[in-house]
Amino acid sequence: MQWLKKIFGKEKQLSPIHLGQLQTDFHSHLIPGIDDGAQSMEDSLQMIRRFKELGYQKVITTPHVMSDFYRNDSATILSGRDAVRKALAEAKIEIEFDAAAEYYLDEHFEAKIHAKDLLTFGDNYVLFELPFVAEPPNLAAAIFEMQTNGYKPILAHPERYGFWYKDFDKYHEMKDKGVYLQLNMLSLIGHYSPETQKIAERLIDEELITFLGSDCHNVGHQQLMEIARTKPYLHRLIESGKLLNGSL
């Protein structure tokens, strides 16, 4: 792979892989007006229609839940889900649509766990994310609390946490603790940074990824997914047979 980059100045491209093999996309922001994703129902329908065109049979959207910024709760999200479902039916866009959440691990997250107030999907999975600046001191405790309360934690986009780049064993530690790792598709095209792409590729090399998500916020992200479809690492990950998206 590296010698191709040196000779041609870019990575080898393959024919676009069919994303329908995944069956389900999760980790997206498609409910209008409640976070930094879709801002109108028109945005939502346009993106969901494109997921269907790409071959997905189901989309599980995951709005941000952050106590100091996006103060969504289960009622807000489920109400938004129902509104999108109604709009999909009226537009005759036939695709299964559901919603959970992307929980930010802040000081209020454990209270939500104890209150059993987490939106789940699949086999009682919970999607959560970390701050980008540093590993939170309550990470181990939050994982333990989720698991002892019957939840199965999925860590969103671990390849984006720069504080682990020089401590790669942390990724193995997460998996050993029973935390599933979800890769963002656009990490494989260097969308976040070249270093993030390298970590994403290493996570695939070391077979640490169990779920693949779009983290789609807008139609621009879906245009970039077209580039990702040609990347050898995306082909390898999807064709590995180890992703569990299809079980959701």
Question: What is the predicted pLDDT for the residue at 70?
Answer: 83
Structural domains in the chain, CATH included, are: 19-131+138-247 (3.20.20.140)
pLDDT value of residue 11: 62
pLDDT of 6: 38
Instruction: Provide Rg for the chain, Cα atoms.
Output: 18
pLDDT value at residue 1: 46
Residue type (1 letter), 82 = D
Q: What is the DSSP letter of 191?
A: S
* CA–CA separation, 222 and 63 (whole Å): 17
Strand 180-184 to 211-213 pairing: parallel
The whole-number pLDDT of residue 67 equals 84
pLDDT of residue 43: 97
The DSSP annotation for 46-92 comes to HHHHHHHHTT-SEEEE--EE-TTS----HHHHHHHHHHHHHHHHHTT
Q: How does pLDDT run along the chain (248 residues), one tens digit per residue?
A: 443 443 344 567 899 999 999 999 999 999 999 999 999 999 999 999 999 999 999 999 999 999 888 889 999 999 999 999 999 999 999 999 999 999 999 999 999 999 999 999 999 999 999 999 999 999 999 999 999 999 999 999 999 999 999 999 999 999 999 999 999 999 999 999 999 999 999 999 999 999 999 999 999 999 999 999 999 999 999 999 999 999 99
Query: Tell me, what's the pLDDT at 3?
Result: 39
Which amino acid does the sequence have at 118? L
For residue 13, give every residue at least 6 positions away whose Cβ sits within 8 Å of its Cβ, in sequence order, or none. Answer: 230, 231
Altogether, the residues listed in the chain come to a count of 248
Angstrom distance (rounded) from CA 200 to CA 140: 23
